[in-house]
């Protein structure tokens, strides 16, 4: 059942990445689709039956996001633009 709730988290994170301009959209799409997969655990027999595929897809997506953040980070130029337009003082 915990994986079903994790699916809600992954879908929300994917949506936020898709709507932001700081990370590539494919990472958000991948996270949202993986979250949908984890939500198959709302009906446990289906989730257990598909677990191997869900785990591979979900873990590859998580690893891709982690590596992207470690290697490239966020788009600092777009981050600064949005912060300046919102009136946030950057130190």
| Burial class of 22 by CB neighbour count within 10 A (0 to 12, 13 to 18, 19+) | middle
- Name the residue with higher pLDDT: 76 or 33: 33
Dihedral angle sign, alpha carbons of residues 72, 55, 46, 8:
negative
> Is the whole-model pTM more than 0.75?
yes
- Name the residue with higher pLDDT: 74 or 42: 42
Report the domain count for the chain: 1
> 89 phi and psi, to 5 degrees?
-85, 125
Instruction: List the Cα angle 54/60/73 in 5-degree steps.
Output: 140
Residues 27-72: tens digit of each pLDDT: 999 999 999 999 999 999 999 999 999 999 999 999 999 999 999 9
The verdict on residue 81 lying in a domain is yes
The verdict on residue 91 lying in a domain is no
The verdict on residue 6 lying in a domain is yes
Q: Which domain holds residue 24?
A: 2-86
């Amino acid at each position: 059942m915990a994986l079903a709730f994790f699916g809600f988290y992954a879908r929300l994170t994917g949506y936020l990445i898709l709507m932001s301009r700081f990370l590539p959209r494919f990472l958000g799409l991948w996270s949202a689709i993986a979250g949908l997969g984890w939500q198959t655990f709302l009906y446990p027999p289906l989730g257990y039956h598909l677990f191997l595929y869900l785990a591979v897809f979900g873990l590859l997506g998580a690893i891709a996001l982690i590596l992207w953040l470690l290697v490239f980070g966020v788009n600092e130029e777009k981050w600064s633009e949005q912060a300046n337009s919102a009136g946030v003082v950057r130190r």
